[in-house]
Structure 1
Amino acid sequence: MRILFVSSSPVNRQTSIGNSFLNLFDGFDAEFYSLYSRTGYPDKKIKSAFRIAEAQLVKNIFNSKKIGKKVENYEETTLEDKSAQKLETTVKLNQSQLKYIARDAVWKLAPWKNENLRAYIEEVNPDLIFSVLSSNSAVNDMAAYAAKISGAKVILYAWDDNYSYPYSKSPLLRAAQFFRRKKMRKTAALASDLFVISDIQKYDYEKIFSRECKVITKGADFSKREEKPVLHNNPLKILYAGNLALGRSETISHITKALEKINRDGKKAELRIYSATPLTDEQKKVMADSSNSFFMGSVSALEVQKLQSEADILIHAESFKEEYFNLIHYSFSTKLVDCFHSAKCIFAVGPEKAASIDCLIKNDAAVVAKSDDEIYEKLNRLINDKNMIDEYAAKAWEYGKKSFDRVNIQRLLKESIEKVLQKRN
């Protein structure tokens, strides 16, 4: 079986999408291929890849021969890659939503549906295309084009709310979203199966797209919990590792303020923050005061596992700001599964109507602060009660074992793929 992943980011352990795809398909008897648009290189489990670099689209908008190429060397970073990475970072730091309209326009005008891409798709000849359903029209278009050329079946996975209208009342932004929604409906109609990440999203998307949706998440091996003596650090080690976009950096800054208050009579706990999210110096300064909390930059997924095993408390954070709610209320962070698997106490902060927070509350799998005002009260109590830390570490593991065992998750995925491919034959 040949599976073609279509995404914006490369499929590797350092990207959220890559981490999820590789986790879901770990151990599958299949060959994996990748079609993507951002800088970076795929995991070595990917047999071959093709990249349509967005920087190329801008430079060669009237020259189709120079757009898109097969990725040959998964290790070497060229000067062209470094230049594109710099551009991507600049774009990420730009808060204007107009950048997405500009991106859509470039993809609409550039001749990326060319012989380079067609030849690659025909060479791969995939049996299945596995992609995301998002408001990124470029990814939706790439998946649709690959399906048209190859005749392969399509399975889509949606894990953020990219369908709702933006918080902004700007007529231009709302008009742009109108056309993206139309594209999402058209793309969803191509799919033989549509996976979502939470029960809340399943309920809404089944109504929106008039079809059955199946809930699937990243899984882990919960067959055996590592037995080791519980020794707490002094001061306690608190860890946040993950995305800081969509207002999460501000939530972390509130945790830092709570820690500053808790530590006034002596250092009881320290927070270390690891993230690859591009941030301004001012954002870093507000979030990490270098006394109670420290910004450590980015580390590999393997290093994150080690850091989690050494920590006392792990942080899950979402924003309380209304402008971000539509973007996060369906989401269930893949990092949460890693937190459950580490068997560590989780301290979660976020609105209770967000899917991840709702799940943690209903299953009593974390200590949860449902408002900014609760952060100090809940965190102070937790830091001063080691038994409570141990209790919620056990609860995190037990909930993970019950709901996110990789064997059960992969069984659902395999059954779905087998049914889809039987229809093709």
Structure 2
Amino acid sequence: MERHRRVLIVGTVPYNEMSTSRAFDSYFHFWEKENLAQIFSNAKAPAKGHCGTLYQITDARMLKRRFDKKTKTGVIFNYEALNDGWKDSSLEVGSVTAKMYGWGSKKNSLVYLLRKFIWKKKYWCTDELLSWLDKFSPECVFLSFSDDFFIPQIALFVAERYNIPIVSSIGDDYYFNYKFSLSPLYHIYKLSYRRLIRKVFSHKGSAIYIGNKIRDKYNESFGLDGKTVYLTSEIKRHPFREIPVRSPVISYFGNIRLGRNESLREIGDALGRIDSSYILNVYSNEKDEHYIGIFDGSRNVKFCGTVPYSEVMKKSAESDILIVVEGFKKKDVDITRYSLSTKVADSLSSGAAVFAYGSAECGAIEYAESTGCITTCTDKDMLEVSLRSLIYDTELQRRNYEKGITVVENNHRLENSTGIFESVVNGVCGDL
């Protein structure tokens, strides 16, 4: 059996089934651990995942290094010494590091530029990092796209040092999403970022995309030949069952920012008008009351907090209706226009009835409607009608279930996704 190429992942978060990096499983599920390594910036210690070795560089250590020459900016983690998993799904850790991570995760131009200032190459490009890289001897760089500077910069540095290709994983439109702003800092950030990304795309390599919509835009704009690799799911499909009208279990799993919390509240209100006993259970890692507070006073939305992915699988199997949502406001739509998260694959794979609600311009909603097996509402005035139709029409439920089997088989089967990804890597690396 031929081995896989030695791939260096450069991304913010290391693979873990309870984090956003769970999507990596759609690419690397069958990869040998000794042929996978990752450089990452999240402050939390990694758990056992796909990589045999990892190198962590954090905001806190980079900032400290500017004032203390003795500070080590990198930490090496090897698979054997890692814990089996995280006790919780939060990406934050305690004390000062949590504050630094929270600061670094804020999305504004000043933070991006400050981070660029802190992440000087001479501080992260150490003899230890170079020795670690030489020992692994990468044959390809997998760039998990980020809207920060340092992730693409590190990926480009490694690719140029070893004269190897870059495969960029693109799920969000960080490049073309150039909004109107009176802030000079925004334009400084955006122009500098776009210049860096053009350098990445001018380097030899290819790309993979979360959906066809973003694939077509980037392939055409940059002369790439990247492919769509749909995300997969570990959730096992249960047999068809009708939605119990008296007490349906209705669940949402995932991020509640970018207007999703408002859409969830609207769904809850509509459910309450259909039957005052109906409850929408919302499971999310979110801790900020600014986003959670919208559910206060709602009799039909219950915010349940975070659960591990093992519980997500269990609760998805127990759910009669799974919800996919996006926001309606332009500022939110601009960010989610091409997004297609793991929860869509999870929902389709579960066998539950799936209800999608949000702007038709959002990637997840557009994809949901295109499948023909997800009841989709893109008009606020039709929300209650659409929910009633799904809950009371058993023939619709059965048709969606049967069509869902085909959609999952065609788009979200693990062997398909990993096979497409491997073909992209082999295509840019050439023969072994």
Mapped to 1, the partners of 2:19 and 2:130 lie a distance apart of 26
1:393 to 386, 394, 401: 401
CA contact (8 A) 2:15 2:49 kept: no
Q: Which amino acid aligns with 1:182?
A: R
Mapped to 1, the partners of 2:353 and 2:407 lie a distance apart of 12
Mean Cα deviation higher: 309-318 or 366-375: 366-375
CA shift, 1:289, in A, is 4.2
Q: Which amino acid aligns with 2:259?
A: G
1:54 to 32, 50, 59: 59
**What's the CA shift string for 1:208-263, capped at 9, x where partnerless?**
212222111223589x9544655738421111101122221222122122223223
CA contact (8 A) 1:247 1:321 kept: yes
**What's the CA shift string for 1:133-153, capped at 9, x where partnerless?**
332211101111222334433
CA contact (8 A) 1:218 1:334 kept: yes
Q: Which amino acid aligns with 1:276?
A: N
CA shift, 1:97, in A, is 4.6
- The alignment partner of 1:111 has SS state of helix
Question: Residues 55 and 238 from structure 1, CA distance in 2 versus in 1: closer, same or farther, beyond 3 angstroms?
Answer: same
Task: Return 5+ residue gaps in structure 2 as ranges.
Answer: 87-91
User: What are the within-5 Å matches in structure 2 for residues 6-405 of structure 1?
Assistant: 6-16=10-20, 18-29=21-32, 31=34, 32-40=36-44, 41-62=46-67, 63=69, 65-71=71-77, 73-75=81-83, 81-83=93-95, 84-89=97-102, 92=105, 96-108=108-120, 111-170=123-182, 171-220=184-233, 226-227=238-239, 230=242, 232=244, 234-264=246-276, 267=277, 269-280=278-289, 282-287=290-295, 289=297, 291-405=299-413
TM norm structure 2:
0.87
**What's the CA shift string for 1:93-129, capped at 9, x where partnerless?**
x565532232223224772112222121112112222
Mean Cα deviation higher: 44-53 or 95-104: 95-104
CA shift, 1:33, in A, is 1.3
Identical positions, percent = 23
Mapped to 2, the partners of 1:110 and 1:271 lie a distance apart of 50
CA contact (8 A) 1:165 1:177 kept: no
- The alignment partner of 1:260 has SS state of helix
RMSD: 2.7
- The alignment partner of 1:240 has SS state of strand
Alignment size in residue pairs = 415
Task: Return 5+ residue gaps in structure 1 as ranges.
Answer: none
Mapped to 2, the partners of 1:233 and 1:26 lie a distance apart of 39
Question: Residues 104 and 90 from structure 1, CA distance in 2 versus in 1: closer, same or farther, beyond 3 angstroms?
Answer: closer
Mapped to 1, the partners of 2:55 and 2:173 lie a distance apart of 27
Q: Which amino acid aligns with 2:252?
A: Y
Mapped to 2, the partners of 1:144 and 1:322 lie a distance apart of 33
Mapped to 2, the partners of 1:376 and 1:341 lie a distance apart of 25
Mapped to 1, the partners of 2:230 and 2:237 lie a distance apart of 20
Q: Which amino acid aligns with 2:51?
A: I
CA shift, 1:191, in A, is 4.3
CA contact (8 A) 2:260 2:325 kept: yes
- The alignment partner of 2:124 has SS state of coil
Question: Residues 99 and 250 from structure 1, CA distance in 2 versus in 1: closer, same or farther, beyond 3 angstroms?
Answer: farther
- The alignment partner of 1:295 has SS state of strand
Q: Which amino acid aligns with 2:215?
A: K
Mapped to 1, the partners of 2:353 and 2:419 lie a distance apart of 29
Mapped to 1, the partners of 2:330 and 2:391 lie a distance apart of 29
